[in-house]
A and B are shown apart, each in its own frame.
Chain A
């Protein structure tokens, strides 16, 4: 499957490469969620509901934070993959973050991320063949265009509290490319401030 992308993020060790696959028309969401709940290590991926993702940068920022926290030995959740899902959250409630951003039985668009680490190396070819049997859905390229068609903007605005009372600045409907970019900027800020105390 040629649609699996492998990315090397800026300013992360080369030993930690990121594999990403995006699917629409997902058929086995309930089964996949069950594997996560049971802790089935064959399914150790970040399984994200793509409808709450606005762009590549949005998703990659969560990966960056999770891997950075992994390297600093301060994961708050079970592993780097659950940490990616948690990193999308603007607050510290882990189980809420799984409900909001993680795969649900009703999920139809799935963003799957696998981090290759020195202790658990994953090659693109192995992963690719594994995914082709594990995931029942239509693989599509991981691009802003594809993600854009899946986004539920209303839900994203609600989760990240992007409706500023009284307007404040410009309208942030996310309908034009510029508004969408501004939305992405605000989301990155909300994610970065998660867990900020004192």
Chain B
């Protein structure tokens, strides 16, 4: 690699975000300008590069909140960055499909992680359901692809629970479908037009995750995911049992969680305060 002869363009002017919101490290030069991907209540997510122009990364930046006391603000930000990084590192080490942690600066409020190719399940699922409707296919038929996807989701969530992590915000927007790596297609098709539900499930956004092996916490994770399916893809709701079946086989103790899930369904996510 040689030193670039032409200094890169100033980055600030090329991004869609305001300069004030750009973390300091993103104001230093890079071959391609950082791109704001999404913005939540707590954090901004940029696509950028780490170390080399050829290594894409996701940079999660938690800007300081002006309405919080400065000392508290710094402490909360540090705590959350580190908590998320620890959970990701633990998952990765135990073989749960999550983005790898590249670097972090808890004082400056950023976390740099592996860039995951593909698209979130919410988008793919909506596209699939739309296409099916257009084709006039009856609901309840030709659903192998969807059944298979639900199974993969159940297994991935189960694997995460099995290593002692609960996600805290399981929605179809926090599940990625990453194209199968070459050589591990194991019979999955990937021709164009077909297979939009294909790919490896990768769990993302561990901003609300915690280390827990409590059945209650696990059941709430599943409940939140069920409700997410119910509200964003009502036509896929009937296949939730496929997900739970796969979940049930994914780790020792999963069946206890499924029992607990029935209780949670009866009363909702929040535990009764009446004892």
Contact = CB atoms under 8 A, between A and B. Distances in A.
B188 interface: no
Contact of A12 (B28, B79, B163): B28
Interface string B54-85: 01000000000000000000010011001001
A130 to B, nearest CB: 19
* Interface residues on chain A, size class: 20 to 34
Interface stretch (A28-36, A41-49, A149-157, A186-194): A186-194
Nearest to A15: B28
Contacts of B89: 186, 189-190, 192-193
Interface in B5-53: 7, 25-26, 28-31, 48-53
A169 B7 contact: no
A168 B94 contact: yes
Nearest to B163: A168
Nearest to A12: B28
Contacts of A164: 93-95
Nearest to B52: A10
B101 A9 contact: no
Contact of B100 (A6, A169, A188, A198): A188
Contacts of A72: 105, 107-108
A71 to B, nearest CB: 9
Interface stretch (A58-66, A76-84, A104-112): A58-66
Contact of B48 (A10, A12, A192): A10
A181 B79 CA distance: 29
Contacts of B181: 178
Q: Which of B29, B51, B86, B94 has the most CB of A within 10 A?
A: B51
Given A72-B108, A168-B95, A5 B88 contact: no
B92 interface: yes
Contacts of B214: none
Contacts of B101: 188-189, 192-193
Interface string A168-198: 1110000000100000011011101100101
A61 B51 contact: yes
A17 interface: yes
Interface of B: 1-4, 7, 25-26, 28-31, 48-53, 55, 75, 78-79, 82, 85-86, 88-89, 92-96, 100-108, 114, 163, 181
Interface of A: 5-14, 17, 56-57, 60-61, 64-65, 68, 72, 164, 168-170, 178, 185-186, 188-190, 192-193, 196, 198
Given A8-B29, A57-B51, A185-B100, 10 more contacts: A8-B3, A10-B50, A10-B51, A11-B30, A11-B49, A64-B51, A169-B95, A186-B92, A190-B89, A193-B101
